Amino acid sequence: MASRGRKRKAEAAVTAAEKREKLAGGGKGVEEATVVIEHCQALRLEAPELPVKVNPAKPRRGSFEVTLVRPDGSSVELWTGIKKGPPRKLKFPEPQEVVEELKKYLS
């Protein structure tokens, strides 16, 4: 007789895989692999003309930052989670917080 824990883990793995499929393709077939970053989606919806670069250089350990680089070369930090936490979830902003900061500097 199989233990109860294994059955539950198997069911959880199946539901987790289904959630990933729905998030990645919205339930549709995907032609190529994609990575979805929720914060980038919020920024792209707010300012679709702005290019979004993810990790243009090797990221520092334990860092999560969002920076706006202006055409003149100056930069503005929209979010930094370096000095936040524990718990770890404090290191990551709500998407709307980043969008509000972006609006301040684009206006």
Query: What's the total number of domains in the chain?
Result: 1
Output 5 or 40, whichever has higher pLDDT.
40
Kindly report, residue by residue over 82-94, the tens digit of the pLDDT.
Answer: 888 888 888 888 8
Phi and psi angles of residue 4, each rounded to the nearest 5 degrees, phi first: -70, -35
Output 31 or 52, whichever has higher pLDDT.
52
For all residues of the chain together, what is the average pLDDT? 75
Q: Say how far apart CA 37 and CA 33 lie, in whole Å.
A: 13
Q: Say how far apart CA 80 and CA 60 lie, in whole Å.
A: 12
Evaluate whether residue 47 is within a structural domain. yes
Quote the tokens at residue 21: 């499929």
Output 60 or 17, whichever has higher pLDDT.
60
Evaluate whether residue 23 is within a structural domain. no
What is the pLDDT, as a whole number, of residue 11?
52
Are 66 and 93 spatial neighbours (Cβ–Cβ below 8 Å)? yes
Residue 89: DSSP 8-state = G
The domain in which residue 50 lies consists of 34-106
